[in-house]
Structure 1
Amino acid sequence: ALRLGIEIPDSRLSGFAGAGAPQLVADNACAHLFVLGQVVASGWRQNDLAAQRVALCVDGDEVAVGCGAHALGDPRDALVWFVNHLSSRGKAIEPGEFVTTGVCAGPVTVKPGQSVIARFDGYGEVNLRLTGED
């Protein structure tokens, strides 16, 4: 199934954007929280997910736009790479587990009290409001 979502990153590195691969791995790739949205209705498999437009809005203002190609060229390619990586180690994605294939729009700064909407053209949107420091 395909689900929409918003990744909420966090990093212990002050300059994570230029940190380099070893530092990002040590920082858990800035992973922190994930807001899991609704399941996308059937019919998405034949669509070009690499061209899928995603817009991030903070308090109603569009602050970032991206596309599925930002996830290793295509979200499907990112998923295939991950599944093959697991398989080579005798592991698999288990029922009930979710995989995020990567960020489509760049990171944006959001402060407590602000609302975020991620709009996935043709598929829907995911909304959240930050209520505290974490």
Structure 2
Amino acid sequence: MLDAWLRLWNGDYDKAQSIVSPDIRVHAAMMDGSDSSSIRGAEGMVAWISQTRAAFPDMRFSEEVRPLVDGTYASVRWTVTGTYAGGFPGAKAEPGTVVTFTGTDTLRMKDGKFVEYWLNSDMLDLLTQLQVG
């Protein structure tokens, strides 16, 4: 399931319905200041991921540390690299700037689907590379 999760973030939306619960709860600091609890189901996840990928169309997530699994919980440390396409509020970086940052996804599974998601990413590193100030 974690492989499918990383593929989802890499833009492969085909299996979203099969791994994301309609009742998923997302716990994340949203870039626009909105409430992450408004993200619902596979459609909401795909919309959020698509919005993120619009600023970094070629972004590629890779596993940095092997996943840790404990019962219904799993955690994966990742690195993402992508080319900035522009449009990020407050960014002074030129389109074409390559960025790399890290994060950790912690997920709770139930009945073969992800039902809860905590995102912790190094936004300071990303914002520094994008020259947001």
TM tier relative to shorter chain: under 0.3
Higher share of residues assigned helix? 2
Specify which structure has the bigger relative contact order, considering alpha-carbon pairs within 8 angstroms and separated by 6 or more residues: 1
Greater strand content: 2
Q: Based on CA coordinates, which of the two structures has the bigger radius of gyration?
A: 1
TM-score, structure 1 normalization: 0.27
TM-score (norm 2): 0.27
